Amino acid sequence: MILEKNQKFQAEFQDFSQRILKIDDEKIKKDLEDDLRSLLKEVKLIDQFHQDLLWQKNLSGSTGDSKNKILELRRKITKKLDGWEKNIKSMQNS
Protein backbone atom coordinates (compact mmCIF):
# COMPACT_ATOMS: atom_id res chain seq x y z
CA MET A 1 0.00 0.00 0.00
CA ILE A 2 1.25 3.45 -0.85
CA LEU A 3 0.91 5.52 2.31
CA GLU A 4 0.88 8.83 0.45
CA LYS A 5 -2.26 7.73 -1.45
CA ASN A 6 -4.00 6.32 1.64
CA GLN A 7 -7.45 7.90 2.13
CA LYS A 8 -6.89 8.54 5.83
CA PHE A 9 -3.54 10.21 5.18
CA GLN A 10 -4.98 12.26 2.31
CA ALA A 11 -7.89 13.42 4.49
CA GLU A 12 -5.57 14.39 7.35
CA PHE A 13 -3.16 16.15 4.98
CA GLN A 14 -6.03 18.13 3.42
CA ASP A 15 -7.37 19.01 6.87
CA PHE A 16 -3.95 20.29 7.95
CA SER A 17 -3.58 22.25 4.69
CA GLN A 18 -6.99 23.90 5.01
CA ARG A 19 -6.41 24.81 8.65
CA ILE A 20 -2.98 26.26 7.85
CA LEU A 21 -4.47 28.46 5.11
CA LYS A 22 -6.59 30.23 7.76
CA ILE A 23 -3.57 31.36 9.81
CA ASP A 24 -2.74 35.08 9.62
CA ASP A 25 0.58 34.97 11.46
CA GLU A 26 3.15 34.42 8.68
CA LYS A 27 5.81 32.92 10.97
CA ILE A 28 3.46 30.32 12.41
CA LYS A 29 2.05 29.65 8.96
CA LYS A 30 5.52 29.13 7.48
CA ASP A 31 6.54 26.84 10.37
CA LEU A 32 3.44 24.72 9.84
CA GLU A 33 3.94 24.61 6.07
CA ASP A 34 7.52 23.45 6.67
CA ASP A 35 6.27 20.78 9.09
CA LEU A 36 3.69 19.64 6.55
CA ARG A 37 6.35 19.37 3.83
CA SER A 38 8.53 17.37 6.25
CA LEU A 39 5.62 15.06 7.00
CA LEU A 40 5.04 14.43 3.28
CA LYS A 41 8.78 13.84 2.77
CA GLU A 42 8.82 11.19 5.51
CA VAL A 43 5.71 9.50 4.12
CA LYS A 44 7.31 9.39 0.67
CA LEU A 45 10.46 7.94 2.24
CA ILE A 46 8.49 5.10 3.80
CA ASP A 47 6.72 4.51 0.49
CA GLN A 48 10.11 4.27 -1.19
CA PHE A 49 11.35 1.81 1.46
CA HIS A 50 8.29 -0.34 0.84
CA GLN A 51 8.84 -0.17 -2.90
CA ASP A 52 12.48 -1.15 -2.46
CA LEU A 53 11.46 -4.09 -0.27
CA LEU A 54 9.10 -5.33 -2.96
CA TRP A 55 11.83 -5.23 -5.56
CA GLN A 56 14.74 -6.43 -3.46
CA LYS A 57 12.86 -8.78 -1.14
CA ASN A 58 15.07 -7.48 1.66
CA LEU A 59 13.79 -6.68 5.11
CA SER A 60 14.95 -3.41 6.55
CA GLY A 61 14.59 -1.77 9.93
CA SER A 62 15.18 1.60 8.33
CA THR A 63 11.52 2.56 8.26
CA GLY A 64 11.35 2.73 12.06
CA ASP A 65 12.95 6.18 12.19
CA SER A 66 10.63 7.54 9.53
CA LYS A 67 7.57 6.09 11.22
CA ASN A 68 8.59 7.82 14.44
CA LYS A 69 9.27 11.09 12.60
CA ILE A 70 5.85 10.91 10.93
CA LEU A 71 4.17 10.40 14.30
CA GLU A 72 6.12 13.28 15.84
CA LEU A 73 5.37 15.61 12.91
CA ARG A 74 1.66 14.79 12.96
CA ARG A 75 1.52 15.52 16.70
CA LYS A 76 3.54 18.72 16.26
CA ILE A 77 1.28 20.01 13.47
CA THR A 78 -1.89 19.10 15.37
CA LYS A 79 -0.65 20.78 18.55
CA LYS A 80 0.31 23.98 16.73
CA LEU A 81 -2.96 24.14 14.80
CA ASP A 82 -5.07 23.40 17.88
CA GLY A 83 -3.20 26.07 19.85
CA TRP A 84 -3.61 28.63 17.09
CA GLU A 85 -7.32 27.92 16.68
CA LYS A 86 -7.90 28.02 20.45
CA ASN A 87 -6.08 31.37 20.65
CA ILE A 88 -8.19 32.81 17.82
CA LYS A 89 -11.43 31.61 19.43
CA SER A 90 -10.49 33.11 22.81
CA MET A 91 -9.65 36.44 21.13
CA GLN A 92 -13.00 36.40 19.31
CA ASN A 93 -14.87 35.72 22.57
CA SER A 94 -13.12 38.58 24.38
Distance CA(13)–CA(79), nearest Å, equals 15
C-alpha Rg value of the chain to the nearest Å: 16
pLDDT at 58 over 60: no
Taking the alpha carbons at both ends of the chain, their separation in whole angstroms is 47
- pLDDT tens digits, one per residue of 67-82: 889 999 999 999 999 9
- pLDDT tens digits, one per residue of 12-37: 999 999 999 999 999 999 999 999 99
Pairwise pLDDT comparison (63 vs 82), residue with the higher score: 82
